[in-house]
Amino acid sequence: MHWTLRGPACALVASIAVGLAACGEREQNNSGEIRAAVTSFPDSLDPALAYTGEALQALWVVYTPLLSYAHAEGVAGTQIVPGLARALPKISADGKTYRLRLRKGLKYSDGRAVKASDFEHSVKRILNLESADTSYFERIVGAGAYLQSGRVRGDISGIETDDRTGAITISLEEPYGSFSNVLAMTFGAVVPGDTPFENQTKRPPPGVGAYKLANVRVNRGFELVKAAGFDVGDMPRARLDTISIEVVKNRGRQTQSVIRNELDYMTDPPAPDQLRSVRDRFAGKRYREFVTNSTYFFFLNHRLQPFSKKAVRQAVNYALDERALVRVFGGLLEPSCNFLPPRLAGYEKIEPCTYGDPDAPPDLGRARQLVKQAGAEGEEVTVYGTEEPEAKGAAEYFADVLSQIGLKGSPRIIPAANYYATIGNRKTRAQAGFANYFQDFARATTFFSIVDGAAIADTNSTNFGNIDDPQIDAALARADRNPRAAAVAKDYAAVDRRLLEEAHLVPYGHRELSVFFSDRIDFDECTAWHPVYNLDYTSLCLK
Amino acid sequence: MDEARHALEPATGDDPWRLALRRLRANRVAIGFGALFAVLLALSLAAPLWAHVAGTTPSRNHLADTIVIDGQRRDVVTEDRVPIGPTWRAKYFLGADGNGRDVAVRLLYGARNSLFIGITATLISVLLAVMLGLLAGYLRGWVDAVVSRALDVVWAFPVLLLGIALGVALARDGLRLGPLSISGGSKWIPTLIIGVVGAVYLARPLRGLVLSLREQDFVEAARAQGAGPLRIMLGELLPNLASTILVFVPLLVANAILLEGALSFLGAGVRPPDPSWGTMIGDGVALLTSAPHLMIVPGVMLVATVLALNVLGDGVRAALDPRAKVRVGR
Amino acid sequence: MLRFIARRLAGMLAVLFAVSVLTFLIFAVIPDGAPEDRMAGPTASPGEVAAVRREWGFDKPLYVQYARTMTKIFTGDVVSYVDRTNVVEEIGRGAPRTFSLAIGAAILWVAGGIALGLFGAARAGRATDRLITVLALIGVSMPVFWLGALASHYLGFEAGIFPDGGYAEIGRHGLLEWLWHLVLPWSVLAVVLIGVYSRVLRSNLLDALHADYVRTARAKGLSEGAVLRRHALPNALIPIVTLWGLDFGAVLGGGAVLTESVFDLQGVGQYFADSVGRLDVPPVLAVTMLGTFFIVAVNTIVDIAYAALDPRIRL
């Protein structure tokens, strides 16, 4: 059944996936080609590996996993719905077994039939390719043994599939409340059973989705082409014939191209010096801003001076002026006193703010006192950041703040391509730096994964500050077992508060992103913002 | 500037230096631009004074501050990151940059850094070039072979690429030469790089000059009197190199300043948050639409300084050695 | 003559070798942690990392690493540390852009320089000559990156007369688009050098015009114009040709990096700058070798040409 979008009210109705007649059906243009631009090529176009926003935004409409997110805006878009599976999984009483069944007659974009055993193969690829979120899948029984055996074609005991009936049964070692969310991530996308165990970015495998990948030129661009045979429940189909995505490194030129209608869509916000003019001229007509579920913060390395001292960490939190950072982001930042973003179960606004009203000037005097008392005056601190204008500005600002409270801050700007590998490497000895986290899925647990002691690693660590708080670790271990996020909301709220009280890091807000389109796109009817994947490509259509 | 050549041909036995000075002084244009350079130098030295008047430092971020102008309270940096333009007062005389820093203060400190690097690098170049030119030209043999080949290699290296590669490589963890340790963020890194690169332009002509000088009578005489190579090199040859060196110096400084600007613009020279003309131009490019003064002002100062040095250099050349073919930079 | 050429070529190879070693060392001595971690990527298994380390020889002494990397470059097999793209292919893609920029600008600056130099020499000492000298000096003092950014922004971005950056491939967009995208970069790159060339030509011409053989020609009754054209100009041009060769080699060898970056032409120079920032050694090594090759090759050709014209130089 076709699904048409008509405003937020319709989106809510649509997400229930019944009786869409109420929305009415306006004649939509269902063809055409558009050109989009990204600032950097996706880290990978292989669903088992892709992790960056650019990648996921494209892959979501190309590879459908067993479960998926509703194609809706706002909170409705965070709801999990069946993807390739017929229905949501039946979870056993002990929370350790998930039963699903594939829909009948599913075909990949190249025409081949989808088999249940393809899912097990897809999981084997994730485990072998050791991607960023492999750890979620290591919770499956037998995953460890499979990896140990070293035989890529070996069996994972915790996954049982039946190609005849399409049944899939997954057993977990321990109950994990967010496992349905894990199954909805693009990592869990089902690809054919003969897909090699290598990064397939140059020749991505076929998937089941509204679009398919074509014309992949690494570092330069790729295309999303309408997948004609796509028909899965009421998942939306492609409305455009081709979306060609090019890498244009210069945001200023992207902005100008969209203004002149030479480019139809840019994924990043407009260049900082054109923000005001774009807002003035196009807000509501071709341009919209959205708050994302993300958190932007400065990490503080607990294993090095001076941030091993709680007093110094608190001093920094006192001294930070969120109004300044809002300006660094050109207004595309929602200041906050919490670590968790507001639209998640477990968010409880911390009032009054632990370290002073974010709308008022910060208490520098108190900060200086704390630094002096801790004996950290004059300590040199390097603040890491990337070359992107917002990150650079934030790092330079933060280094200056440190200098104002008695430390000696100096920024160190490194290219974005190396950044996370550098600050995640213990040998770098990074004392502080710019960091952010966008949700992997819409649960508080994903945000707390980076402050969990278990995430500390020597290389490619995601816990940049080496936060190892037993209270937090214990609370998270308890809460993560429960599949119902609402039930453990209080635990998450407590962890959020503790992060601030112990000043384990310096959070300052949640990022706002934007969509900016050319005149050709039907802005009112055909542009949907998805809370997990940003722009929903399947919603795009021409006037 | 070529006119001086014809007007003041040497009379008999006049001291060449005094002659040169007279020629130079007659060259009003060169003197004028020399004065311009002196003014720019003085301004850069006055940087701390201006910082005191403006009440800030070159790296202090004033993102959330406001300022009252003509009774109106205005943001130093608005919420959509548009910094205030020139106020023509003590605070934010030339406006603020994207992080709320005072542009005028940064400009003067930037001038200090750029001029420091330019002049010091040139001194290093001259020192190196004199050493290499003297050793290679006078001692000849294998010393000359080694030095000439080394110069060939550095000469063949694409200058900018070498500078960028070294600048980035050394900026990470600094440089350690035996007991000497320089941190990655230090200004000495670009200074040394530019100094070494610049030496090549001067070393070759000096070597050629030494080669021709060593055959002359006064050197023979000194050798006959029992003077060792060191005394000959420093006592007899070096003074004769002076006029050539002087001709090159202004142009070497100009080239060094341009090279530092290029390296800093690409992020391989002066490191943030230290200002230099190159870094300010680089920062300013991102905000060209909303705040063009951020890029234009440091650029104008850079051009003015280099122009002054070029004109002065021309004048010095005309005064000392009008026939000299001086070539620095690409 | 043949021996001279052979010696020159041998010297060229020696210099290339020395430059490659120097470049390699610059990056080898950076304590960067293990490059194999970065090469294999953040999502690699320990097995993959070990494989990369063995393949590139990071566990072996420096000279082994150097040998392996250079072999890979010459067999065209070399891949970037950061994203595993083939370096030679990327250079191949950027080369036409860098060539287009360098050749066009070179023609522009030599033509402009000669024209202005002639004009200045003809009007020596008068107001127009002084004006040209002043303009030439200002041109020489301009930083290419600043002028380029200003031109690209005001003439491209704001006024829309030219595109504000980017490169149009002839094959895909046609000759006119290609030209239109290159006018600004050519002009900016040429402005700086026109100044230099016009002054050199002017001073050479003035020298030549005062030389003995020219006085003889004038005495024989030749007109001023003929004197200029047949005697002074050819002699004044010879050093220009050598200079032009050297400068062209230099621009091709890396001087284009600033112009390419400012106008986002995605040529070889920009590829170099991006790679250096990411400490990506293989592209840096390959581009440096290429750039040096051009510089040295042009120098050698110029030397050989001079030797062919003047036998005394071969000694």
Q: A370 near A364, Cβ under 8 Å? A: no
- Cβ pair B82:A276 closer than 8 A: yes
Whether residue C59 is predicted with pLDDT greater than 90 in this model: the reply is no
C-alpha distances (whole Å) from A533 to each of A7, A59, A283, A439, B9 are 18, 10, 22, 10, 80
pLDDT class for B326, splitting at 50, 70, 90? low
CA distance C251 to chain A (A): 24
Whether residues B273 and A329 touch (CB distance < 8 A) is answered with no
Amino acid at C19: V
Which residues on chain C are in Cβ contact (under 8 Å) with B166? Answer: 26
- pLDDT score of C135: 85
Mean of the per-residue pLDDT values of chain A? 88
Q: DSSP 3-state assignment of A512?
A: strand
For tokens 């040096």, what's the residue?
Answer: C292
Give pLDDT tens digits for B47-63.
Answer: 999 999 999 999 999 99
Quick one: pLDDT at residue B225? 84
Asked whether residue C170 carries a pLDDT value surpassing 90, the answer given is no
pLDDT digits (tens, 9 = 90+) for C225-271: 777 777 777 777 777 777 887 788 888 776 788 899 888 888 888 88
Mutate to test the interface with C, among B114, B149, B164 (most CBs of C within 10 A): B164
Residue A22 in this model has a pLDDT that exceeds 70: no
- Lookup: tokens for A108: 């990949």
Q: Measure the CA–CA gap between C232 and C210, rounded to whole angstroms.
A: 9
User: What local confidence, expressed as pLDDT, does residue A20 receive?
Assistant: 40
The C-alpha atoms of residue A516 and residue C9 are separated, in whole angstroms, by 57
Domain that holds residue C284: 95-314
What is the model's pLDDT at position B288? 86
Residue-range domain boundaries for chain B: 103-319
Secondary structure of residue A242 in the 3-state scheme: strand
With a cut of 60, say whether residue A446 has pLDDT above it. Answer: yes
Q: What is the pLDDT of residue A190?
A: 92
The Cα–Cα gap between B122 and B238 comes to 17
Q: Which of C42, C157, C279 is opposite residue A132, by nearest beta carbon?
A: C42
pLDDT at C210 exceeding the cut of 80: no
Instruction: Express as a percent the part of chain B with pLDDT over 70.
Output: 90
Share of chain A above pLDDT 90, in %: 56
In a mutational test of the C interface, the residue from B3, B6, B168 whose CB has the highest number of chain C CBs within 10 Å is B168
pLDDT of residue A123: 92
Can you give chain B as a three-state secondary structure string? CCHHHHHCCCCCCCCHHHHHHHHHHHCHHHHHHHHHHHHHHHHHHCHHHHHHHHCCCCCCCCCCCEEEECCEEEECECCCCCECCCCCCCCCCCCECCCCCEHHHHHHHHHHHHHHHHHHHHHHHHHHHHHHHHHHHHHCHHHHHHHHHHHHHHHHCCHHHHHHHHHHHHHHHCEEECCEEECCCCCHHHHHHHHHHHHHHHHHHHHHHHHHHCCCHHHHHHHHCCCCHHHHHHHHHHHHHHHHHHHHHHHHHHHHHHHHHHHHHCCCCCCCCCCCHHHHHHHHHCCCCCCCHHHHHHHHHHHHHHHHHHHHHHHHHHHHCCCCCCCCCC
Q: Are A465 and A300 in contact (CB under 8 A)?
A: yes
Give the residue-averaged pLDDT of A408-433: 87
CB-CB under 8 Å, B286 with A396 = no
**Pairing relation of β-strands A167-171 and A242-247?**
unpaired
pLDDT at residue B173 in the model: 67
Does the pLDDT at position A11 exceed 50?
no
Q: How many CB pairs under 8 A join A and B?
A: 89
Neighbours of A221 (CB within 10 A): 18
pLDDT tier at A144, thresholds 50, 70, 90: confident
Q: What is the full DSSP assignment across C45-67?
A: -HHHHHHHHHHHTTTS-HHHHHH
Residue A401 pLDDT: 96
Q: Which chains share 3+ C-beta pairs under 8 angstroms with A? A: B, C
DSSP secondary-structure letter at A112? Answer: P
Flag if C164 and A256 touch (Cβ within 8 Å). yes
**Count of A–C CB contacts within 8 Å?**
49
Cα C122 to Cα C128: distance, rounded to the nearest angstrom = 10
Which member of A275, A323, A389 has the closest CB to residue B80?
A: A275
Token pair 């060449």 is found at B16
Residue C265 covered by a domain: yes
Q: How much is the pLDDT for B10? A: 46
Question: Does residue A436 register a pLDDT over 60?
Answer: yes
Residue A102 has pLDDT above 70, yes or no: yes
Please tell me the least confidently modeled range out of A271-275, C147-151, C157-161: C157-161
- Nearest by Cα to A167 from A266, A86, A61: A86
The answer to whether A436 touches A297, Cβ cutoff 8 Å, is yes
Comparing CA positions, the residue from C109, C124, C140, C75 lying closest to residue C243 is C109
Looking at residue B278, its pLDDT comes to: 93
CATH for C120 = 1.10.3720.10
Task: Give the per-residue pLDDT at A398.
Answer: 97
Query: Looking at residue C114, what is its pLDDT?
Result: 87
Per-residue pLDDT reduced to its tens digit, A299-335: 999 999 899 999 999 999 999 999 999 999 999 999 9
**Chain B residues lying within 8 Å of A403, measured CB to CB:** 59
- Across the B:C interface, residue pairs with CB atoms under 8 Å apart total 134
Q: Which residues of B touch A380 (CB under 8 A)?
A: none
Predicted confidence band of residue B154 (pLDDT cuts 50, 70, 90): confident
C270-290 pLDDT per residue, tens: 888 888 877 777 888 888 888
Interacting residues of A79 by C-beta distance below 8 A, sequence separation 6+: A15, A69, A70, A72
Rounded Cα–Cα distance for residues A69 and A65 (Å): 10
Nearest to A529 by CA among A504, A512, A508: A512
Task: Check CB contact under 8 Å for A130 and C44.
Answer: yes
Whole-complex ipTM = 0.86
CATH superfamily of B103-319: MetI-like (1.10.3720.10)
Taking contacts as CB-CB distances below 8 angstroms, the residues of chain B near A273 are 81-82, 286-291
Smallest CA-to-CA distance from A331 within A506, A507, A513 is with: A513
* Whole-number pLDDT of residue C38: 58
Q: What is the pLDDT of residue C304?
A: 75
Of B125 and B14, the one with more pLDDT: B125
Chain C contact set for A129 (CB, 8 A) = 43, 45
- pLDDT cut 90: percent of chain C above it: 6
Q: What's the domain count of chain C?
A: 1
pLDDT at A512: 93
Is the pLDDT at C41 greater than 80? The verdict is no
> Which residue is closest to C165 within chain A, CA to CA?
A253
Query: Looking at the predicted structure, is the pLDDT value of residue A24 above 50?
Result: no
Q: What is the mean pLDDT of residues A129-135?
A: 75
Residue A148 has pLDDT above 90, yes or no: no
Quick check: B122 pLDDT over 70? yes
Strands A221-226 and A211-217 come out as antiparallel
- What residues 155-214 of chain A have any CB closer than 8 A to a CB of chain C? none
Q: Among A41, A253, A424, select the one facing C166 at the smallest CB separation.
A: A253
- pTM of the full structure: 0.86
- Please list every residue in chain C whose beta carbon sits closer than 8 Å to the beta carbon of residue A420: 42
CA distance C35 to chain A (A): 11
Model confidence at C78: pLDDT above 50:
yes
Cβ <8 Å between B185 and A279: no
Q: How far apart are CA C22 and CA B272, in angstroms?
A: 28
Is residue A520 over pLDDT 50?
yes
**Looking at CA atoms only, how far is residue C11 from chain A in angstroms?**
38
Which one of B59, B100, B286 has the shortest CB-CB distance to A272?
B286
- Mapping DSSP to helix (H, G, I), strand (E, B) and coil, where does residue A263 land? coil
Predicted local confidence at residue B187, as pLDDT: 85
Whether residue C84 lies inside any domain: the answer is no
Question: How large is the average pLDDT for residues B215-236?
Answer: 82
Rounded to a whole number of angstroms, the distance from the CA of A18 to the nearest CA of chain C is 41
| More confident of the two residues A161 and A49 | A161
Residues in chain C: 315
Q: What is the mean pLDDT of chain C?
A: 80
Average pLDDT over residues A45-56: 86
Whether the CB of C160 is below 8 Å from some CB of chain B: the reply is: no
CB contacts, 8 Å: B82 with chain A: 273, 276
Chain C, residues 81-140, CB within 8 A of chain B, namely 124-125, 133, 137-138, 140
Residues in chain A within 8 Å Cβ distance of B58: none
C-alpha–C-alpha distance, residues A220 and A248, integer Å: 8
Residue of higher predicted confidence among A105 and B184: A105
Residue C295 pLDDT? 82
User: Is-contact C232 B28, C-beta < 8 A?
Assistant: no
C293/B contact by beta carbon, under 8 A: no
What is the residue-wise DSSP string for C75-127? TT--B-TTT--BHHHHHHHHHHHHHHHHHHHHHHHHHHHHHHHHHHHHTTTSH
| CA nearest to B311 within chain C | C137
The whole-number pLDDT of residue A2 equals 30
Least CA distance to A133: which residue of chain C?
C43
Q: A201: which chain C residues are within 8 Å (Cβ-Cβ)? A: none
Contacts of B95 (CB under 8 A, 6+ apart): B83, B84, B85, B86, B87, B103, B291, B293, B294
A129/C43 Cβ within 8 A:
yes
A204, A211, C200, C267, C280 from C125: Cα distances, Å: 70, 72, 16, 43, 53
CA of C42 vs chain A CAs: smallest distance (Å): 6
Q: What is the pLDDT of residue C29?
A: 63
**Are B272 and A411 an interchain contact pair (Cβ–Cβ within 8 Å)?**
yes
Q: Which residue among C38, C45, C164 sits closest to A418, beta carbon to beta carbon? A: C38
Residue C6 pLDDT > 60? yes
**A421 to chain C: nearest residue by CA?**
C42
Contact A384, A422 (CB under 8 A): yes
Spatial CB neighbours of C209, under 8 Å, sequence gap ≥ 6: C121, C227, C228, C232
Chain C residues with CB under 8 Å of A271 CB are: none
State the average pLDDT over residues A14-30.
47
The tokens for A454 are 């278990």
Window 187-206 of C: residues touching B by CB (8 A cutoff) are 203, 206
Mean pLDDT of A408-414: 90
Instruction: Give the range among A7-21, A34-48, A124-138 with minimum mean pLDDT.
Output: A7-21
Which is higher by pLDDT, A542 or C56? A542
Contact A252 C157 (CB under 8 A): yes
**Phi and psi at residue A73, to the nearest 5°:** -90, 165
Q: In this complex, which chains have at least 3 CB pairs below 8 Å with chain B?
A: A, C
**Pairing mode of beta strands B72-75, B66-69:** antiparallel
How far away is chain A from the Cα of C146, in angstroms, using its nearest Cα? Answer: 17
From chain B, the residues in CB contact with A419 under 8 A are none
Structure confidence by residue, pLDDT tens digits, B233-280 = 888 788 888 888 988 899 899 999 999 999 998 888 888 889 999 999
Check CB contact under 8 Å for B296 and C26: no
